[in-house]
Amino acid sequence: MKTPPPLQKDVQDACFEYLLRLGDDLLVLGHRLSEWCGHAGILEEDIALANLALDCLGQANNFLTLAGQIEGKGRTADDLAYFRDETEFRNCALVEQLNGDFATTIARHFLFCTASFYLYEKLQESSFKPLAAIAKKSLKEIIYHHRHSREWIIRLGDGTPESHLRAQQALNELWMFTAELHQTDALEAKLVQEGIAADRATLLGKWQQTVSQVLNEATLTIPPDGYMYSGARIGRHTEYLGHILSEMQIVARSHPNARW
């Protein structure tokens, strides 16, 4: 990747943080999905989930590599992935939630990648060209992720009484983590002003419309907004992130600078 054009210092700092948010979402989600490898109910879906995981990892690599370049301290994507602690991670809480049963994994993925679709669609127009390029490339993958998870949620919801029950339970449990997908703050507002970031708040309507349309076809009910979790973007994570990181980081931390 070419070295990105220089930015003003404060914009640069905000941009680094923003790229961590984008990259960490995909890194953590990708790792979660990879936990299915060898465990899915049927071989074809095992391969499908591994493919989704690899797409997420590839996107995370692109975002974190760019983050390291913007930061300008010589940190690589690997440095950012393996040598930051839990409170330094900027992913939303939804992606760190446990895989649970297949319905939970599919519901989590559907809720997340529907948001990613609209986010990337907008980020393609970012004034920061390297970010626009990653968004454009990632969008192609996310369209498939959306298709796969949408078709599954419809089949689970509109399937057997058992699959319907599990899909509805999954949505009920995950719903409190969906608010973060469209929350924004002063940092993102600044980047929106610069034309770099997409204003997540303006994407909420489209997300709601697509989610309700698909869940309606799936004969599932949109859970009511109750207590909605927030704070993961500033490092206040649920109990599950620490466990993923310990597993993901142990080899790199035990053998720093190892090459293979």
Partner 1 sequence: MSSTKTPRVEEPNVVEGDSQWLLWEVFVQAENGSAHEHAGSVRAPDRELALQNARDVFARRGPVRSIWIVPAEAITASSSADAASFFDPGDDKVYRHPQFYKVPKGMQ
At 37, give phi and psi (nearest 5°).
-55, 120
At 167, give phi and psi (nearest 5°).
-65, -40
Q: Which of residues 46-75 bind partner 1 (CB under 8 A)?
A: 47-48, 51
Q: Compute the distance between CA of residue 152 and CA of residue 130 in angstroms, rounded to an integer.
A: 33
Number of residues interacting with partner 1: please give it, by CB under 8 A.
23
Smallest separation, CB 72 to partner 1 (Å):
36
Smallest separation, CB 46 to partner 1 (Å):
10
Task: Choose one: 90-98, 99-107, 212-220, 239-247; the region binding partner 1 (CB under 8 A).
Answer: 212-220
Site string for partner 1, 121-150 (x = CB under 8 A): ----------------------xx-xxx-x
Smallest separation, CB 43 to partner 1 (Å):
8
Q: Does 98 bind partner 1 (CB under 8 A)?
A: no
Smallest separation, CB 165 to partner 1 (Å):
19
Q: Does 155 bind partner 1 (CB under 8 A)?
A: yes
State which of residues 87, 127, 202, 213 lies at the interface with partner 1 (CB under 8 A): 213
Dihedral over alpha carbons 37, 89, 223, 108 (to 10 degrees): -20
Residue 247, helix vs strand vs coil: helix
Q: Does 81 bind partner 1 (CB under 8 A)?
A: no
Q: Compute the distance between CA of residue 13 and CA of residue 20 in angstroms, rounded to an integer.
A: 11
Smallest separation, CB 17 to partner 1 (Å):
28
50-58: long-range pairs with CB below 8 Å, 24+: 52/109, 52/145, 52/148, 54/30, 55/30, 55/141, 55/144, 55/145, 56/26, 56/27, 56/29, 56/30, 57/26, 57/27, 57/30, 57/31, 58/141
86 is written with which tokens? 């839990």
Q: Do 223 and 208 touch, CB atoms closer than 8 A?
A: no
Smallest separation, CB 90 to partner 1 (Å):
26
Q: Does 164 bind partner 1 (CB under 8 A)?
A: no
Binding residues for partner 1, rule: CB under 8 A, are 42-45, 47-48, 51, 117-118, 143-144, 146-148, 150-152, 154-155, 210, 213-214, 217
